[in-house]
């Protein structure tokens, strides 16, 4: 601890340690309330292998990488010889090289817990570590009370808690910890000019980038503030020493520490592999012990800038801006084809964010947010070094553009603002009340009440935040049973929401997932799910074979010279069109309704059709009901979901103000226009298995009613939707036996094997 905080005495050291432990336990206990609420008799649907399952889809991505690393561990004989020899197949998209799976693998080796237990509980402890740098910052600034309050507040802030709740196994658990460590080391490097903070700043940047590659923009923002601080100090020195020229001021000794900090930050951020940046930071730090270093500090900074640009250090920030801010169009062009942008279907990206939303996500309500902003401004006035936190506030305010996912970055800024505001009020109590004993009692009471008031909305949010697990037991059983009979090289075609869980529980391949879901890769999957069975089968086989062929060629291109590389079409649809001689994508799509000379079958393909896909099915269709030549949406098929149907005699009232005239077999729209109903279908699981009953109503009908008895849902669909693969295979089990074979099924989902 002495190295970390340099307390004036041992008692203070113990006191700081006690505050850290208290804040850590507080944060952990608040997160554990989820288990307290959910772990009740009979509530085992959210458990698998005697442990709760994760609470977000992305968790399965990291869990897949951790699982494969564990299976690949030759020292782990308990996993069996099969997994040791076949632990990780080529092109399976498993993140075995990422930081979180590697950390999980390490923890699995040293802890007596199952993988399921580690990934479920790790967010509690990872997220709670943020209290350490926050309290240390407060300690070194002689604002220990402020730091302690800020630690409590940050640890359970609404946005931060939502993205680090128990079971939220994701890199977000450390994505506030590392920035706060940087704030701590950079601020103290500026304030104390001690060498150890140079090393810590450089190492933190290197490790932060290893943990979260998208951290670049935040690191660069910190770097920019240090530049502004350095320029400010040079200006002050120039004003104070008017007789000196800038050429004499620039290399002055008192500015050397800033040059050193900038240099080591640049080496940590350069576009080079982890080990190169790590060695570079350590080497540069060791150079600071040389007496000559101070003399040449400015020249070393110039060299560091050159190295930074030469290695491509500036490139990532443009990629991130393009990804988060600029790509918001309804369609994205890919060569001569246009695909639907996934950004337009994400609620978080679509929702208009206002200051009230940000206030609620960062502090709980607008009143506390206002107090926080006042407090932070007050803090910066008294401790200007805390301006170093501005990048976190700026990133949090990116919620206006990029969605509320960014709000959590502003949480520690808000927390320090509230903490300092409370601290200053207690100071004022001591100023205006001369009796020290009374002042102490009043300030203690005020602090307790104020902190309780500030934490109250956050604790309430945590208590009421009862998010469920991604899947329930019956779904996982279905997927695992399927995986036991499927090859690890087989593909499962399903929507990207289920890509990661399918890969984790079945250990197969998928075409799209939570990270691979651009418009061009979504189109074939959307098409296969929402069009007729013949077209779906042809598209599935084509997309899988072209995807594997693309992987192989890209791998070969890595070992070829630039002139020998094979140039590939930008997307699979364009590649298919080229090979099959089509110029117009619409003609190519029509051709899939007939027999196609398909590529040679290299592996089996399965369709996973879950019931939970029902509500997002209209969104899924948007990706393929699109004219790829123009990028314009074509007429969307009609698909109405009604869960609140009411039989009112001759009329059945449906959701969205639709109704059915039972006497005339008409669908009545909200505008009172009527449409004839072609058929009424009852489908569902009975005691003797799955049964379907079709009753034809009107020859001129254009809509069908499908009563899903198992789910208590009534669907109203047009002919295109009635004949779609998802409706025919999952809800009606009316599948073409020459194209598909049902291999696993229960009310939660069904697996169909493609026969071609």
3-state secondary structure 200-269: HHHHHHHHHHHHCHHHHHHHHHHHHHHHHHHHHHHHHHHHHCCCCCHHHHCCCHHHHHHHHHHHHHHHHH
Q: Across the chain, what does the average pLDDT equal?
A: 89
Tokens read off for 217: 């923009």
- Concatenating the DSSP letter of every residue in 655-706 gives GGG-EEETTTTEEE-TTS-EEEEEEEEEEEEETTEEEEEEEE--TT--EEEE
Cα separation of 137 and 460, whole Å?
28
> Which one is predicted more confidently, 516 or 335?
516
Question: What pLDDT is stored for residue 397 in this prediction?
Answer: 87
CATH of domain 473-611: 3.40.1380.40
pLDDT digits (tens, 9 = 90+) for 11-65: 888 999 999 999 999 999 999 999 999 988 878 899 999 999 999 999 999 999 9
Question: What was the pLDDT predicted at 592?
Answer: 96
pLDDT score recorded for residue 256: 83
Name the one residue in this structure whose structure tokens are 């220990």: 144
Mean pLDDT check: name the lowest of 34-48, 71-85, 647-661. Answer: 71-85
The whole-number average pLDDT for the span 189-193 is 90
- Does the pLDDT at position 4 exceed 50? no
pLDDT score of 249: 64
Measured in residues, the chain has a length of: 756
Q: Distance (Å, rounded) from C-alpha 148 to C-alpha 145? A: 5
* Residues ≥6 apart with Cβ < 8 Å to 341: 327, 328, 329, 330, 331, 332, 519
pLDDT higher at 443 or 562: 443
| Cβ atoms of residues 202 and 265 within 8 Å | yes
Q: Is the pLDDT of residue 83 over 70?
A: no
What pLDDT shows up at residue 236? 78
Structure confidence by residue, pLDDT tens digits, 678-729: 999 999 998 888 999 999 999 999 999 999 999 999 999 999 999 999 999 9
End-to-end CA, the chain: 65
Interatomic CA distance for residues 371 and 153, integer angstroms = 13
What are the tokens at 12? 């203070």
Which residue in this structure is represented by tokens 């103000």? 657
Phi/psi at 555 (nearest 5 deg)? Answer: -65, -45
> Apex CA 387: angle with CA 386 and CA 391, to 5°?
115
Provide the pLDDT for residue 5. 43
Q: Which of 14-23, 55-64, 167-176, 331-340 has the lowest mean pLDDT?
A: 331-340
> 96-116, pLDDT tens digit by residue?
999 999 999 999 999 999 999
Give the residue, 177 or 249, on which the prediction is more confident. 177
**What Rg, from alpha-carbon coordinates, does the chain have?**
30
Q: What angle in degrees, to the nearest 10, is found between the helix axes of 473-485 and 499-506?
A: 60
pLDDT higher than threshold 50 for residue 7: no
Alpha-helix residue ranges (DSSP H) falling in 403-518: 411-432, 436-464, 473-485, 499-506
Distance CA(511)–CA(529), nearest Å, equals: 13
714, 645 contact by CB (below 8 A): yes
Which position has the token pair 């801010």?
325
Biggest CA pair distance of the chain: 99
Note whether 483 and 41 are within 8 A (CB): no
What confidence tier does 320 reach under pLDDT thresholds 50, 70, 90?
low
Q: Estimate to the nearest angstrom the gap between the alpha carbon of 90 and the chain centroid.
A: 24
Q: Which of 177-181, 205-209, 419-423, 649-653 is the least confident region?
A: 649-653
Rounded distance between C-alpha atoms, residue 409 and residue 175, angstroms: 8
Say if CB 682 and CB 693 are below 8 A apart: yes
Euclidean distance between CA atoms 717 and 530, whole angstroms: 12
CB atoms within 10 A of CB 675: 17
Evaluate whether 701 touches 678 at the Cβ level (below 8 Å). yes
pLDDT of 1 above 80: no
Mind listing the pLDDT tens digit for each residue in 536-579?
Answer: 999 999 999 999 999 999 999 988 888 888 999 999 999 999 99
Cα–Cα distance measured from residue 505 to residue 486, given in angstroms and rounded to the nearest whole number: 12
pLDDT at res. 317: 65
The Cα 579–Cα 348 span in angstroms is: 39
Q: Above 80 in pLDDT, residue 331?
A: no
Residues 327-342 have a mean pLDDT of 66
Give the angle subtended at the CA of 105 by the CAs of 503 and 496, to the nearest 5°: 20
Domain coordinates of the chain in residue numbers? 354-393+407-464, 473-611, 638-723
CA-based nearest residue to 421, from 384, 373, 456? 373
| Residues sharing a CB contact under 8 Å with residue 353, sequence separation 6 or more, in sequence order | 399, 400, 403, 404
Q: What is the pLDDT of residues 467-502, one digit of tens each?
A: 899 999 999 999 999 999 999 999 999 999 999 999
Q: State how far the Cα of 154 lies from the Cα of 160, in Å rounded to an integer.
A: 7
177-192 vs 216-240: helix axis angle to the nearest 10?
20
- Give backbone dihedrals phi and psi of 69, rounded to 5 degrees, phi first: -65, -40
Model confidence over 212-244: pLDDT tens digits? Answer: 988 888 999 999 999 998 888 878 777 777 666
Q: Report the pLDDT value the prediction gives residue 62, as an integer from 0 to 100.
A: 97
| Per-residue tokens: 491 | 């593909």
Tokens of 338: 């246009």
Question: Rounded to the nearest 5 degrees, what angle is found at the Cα of 32, between the Cα atoms of 31 and 37?
Answer: 115
Say yes or no to pLDDT of 74 above 70.
no
């Amino acid at each position: 601890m002495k190295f970390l905080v340099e307390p004036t005495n041992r008692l203070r050291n113990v006191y700081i340690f006690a505050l850290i432990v208290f804040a850590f336990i507080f944060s952990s206990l608040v997160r554990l309330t989820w288990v307290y609420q959910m772990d009740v008799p009979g509530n085992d649907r959210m458990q698998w292998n005697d442990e709760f399952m994760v609470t977000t889809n992305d968790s399965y991505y990291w869990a897949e990488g951790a699982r494969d690393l564990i299976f690949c561990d030759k020292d782990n004989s308990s996993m069996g010889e099969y997994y040791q020899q076949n632990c990780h197949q080529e092109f399976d998209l498993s993140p075995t090289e990422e930081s979180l799976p590697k950390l999980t693998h390490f923890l699995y080796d040293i802890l007596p817990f199952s993988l399921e237990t580690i990934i479920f509980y790790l967010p509690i402890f990872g997220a709670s570590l943020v209290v350490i740098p926050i309290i240390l910052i407060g300690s070194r600034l002689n604002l220990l009370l402020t730091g302690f309050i800020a630690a409590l507040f940050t640890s359970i802030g609404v946005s931060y808690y939502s993205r680090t709740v128990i079971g939220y196994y994701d890199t977000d658990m450390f994505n506030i910890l590392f920035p706060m460590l940087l704030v701590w080391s950079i601020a103290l490097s500026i304030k104390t000019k001690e060498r150890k903070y140079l090393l810590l700043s450089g190492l933190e940047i290197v490790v932060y980038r290893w943990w979260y590659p998208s951290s670049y923009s935040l690191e660069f923002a910190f770097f920019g503030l240090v530049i502004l601080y350095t320029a400010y100090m040079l200006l002050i020195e120039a004003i104070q020493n008017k007789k000196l020229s800038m050429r004499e001021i620039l290399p002055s000794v008192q500015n050397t520490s800033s040059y050193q900090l900038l240099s080591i930050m640049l080496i940590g951020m350069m576009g080079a592999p982890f080990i190169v940046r790590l060695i570079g930071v350590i080497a540069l730090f060791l150079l600071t012990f040389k007496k000559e270093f101070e003399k040449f500090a400015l020249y070393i900074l110039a060299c560091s800038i050159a190295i930074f640009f030469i290695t491509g250090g500036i490139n990532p920030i443009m990629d991130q801006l393009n990804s988060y801010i600029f790509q918001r169009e309804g369609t994205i062009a890919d060569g001569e084809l246009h695909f639907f942008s996934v950004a337009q279907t994400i609620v978080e990206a679509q929702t208009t964010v206002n200051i009230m939303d940000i206030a609620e996500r960062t502090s709980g309500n607008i009143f506390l947010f206002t107090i926080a902003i006042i407090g932070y401004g007050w803090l910066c006035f008294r401790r200007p070094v805390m301006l170093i936190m501005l990048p976190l506030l700026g990133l949090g305010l990116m919620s206006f553009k990029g969605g509320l996912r960014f709000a959590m970055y502003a949480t520690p800024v808000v927390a320090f603002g509230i903490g300092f505001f409370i601290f200053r009020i207690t100071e004022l109590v001591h100023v205006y009340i001369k009796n020290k004993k009374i002042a102490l009692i009043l300030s203690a009471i005020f602090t307790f009440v104020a902190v309780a008031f500030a934490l109250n909305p956050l604790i309430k949010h945590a208590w009421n935040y009862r998010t469920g697990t991604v899947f329930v037991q019956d779904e996982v059983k279905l997927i695992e049973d399927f995986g036991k009979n499927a090859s690890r090289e087989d593909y499962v075609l399903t929507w990207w929401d289920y890509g990661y869980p399918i890969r984790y529980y079945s250990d197969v391949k998928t075409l799209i997932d939570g990270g691979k879901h651009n418009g061009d890769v979504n189109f074939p999957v959307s098409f296969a799910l929402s069009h007729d069975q013949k077209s779906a089968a042809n598209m599935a086989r084509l997309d899988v074979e072209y995807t594997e062929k693309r992987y192989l060629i890209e791998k070969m291109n890595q070992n070829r010279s630039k002139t020998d590389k094979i140039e590939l079409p930008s997307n699979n649809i364009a590649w298919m069109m080229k090979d099959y001689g089509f110029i117009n994508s619409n003609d190519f799509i029509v051709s899939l309704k007939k027999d196609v000379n398909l590529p040679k079958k290299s592996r089996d393909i399965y369709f996973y059709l879950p019931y939970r896909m029902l509500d997002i099915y209209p969104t899924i269709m948007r990706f393929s009901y699109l004219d790829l030549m123009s990028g314009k949406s074509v007429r969307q098929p009609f698909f109405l979901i009604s869960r609140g149907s009411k039989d009112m005699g001759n009329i059945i009232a449906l959701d969205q103000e639709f109704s059915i005239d039972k006497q005339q077999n008409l669908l009545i729209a909200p505008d009172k226009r009527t449409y004839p109903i072609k058929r009424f279908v009852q489908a569902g699981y009975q005691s003797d298995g799955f049964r379907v009953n079709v009753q034809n109503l009107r020859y001129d009908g254009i809509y069908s009613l499908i009563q899903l008895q198992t789910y208590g849902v009534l669907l109203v669909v047009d002919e295109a939707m009635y004949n779609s693969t998802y409706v025919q295979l999952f809800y009606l089990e009316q599948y073409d036996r020459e194209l598909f074979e049902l291999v696993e099924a229960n009310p939660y989902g069904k697996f169909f094997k493609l026969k071609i």
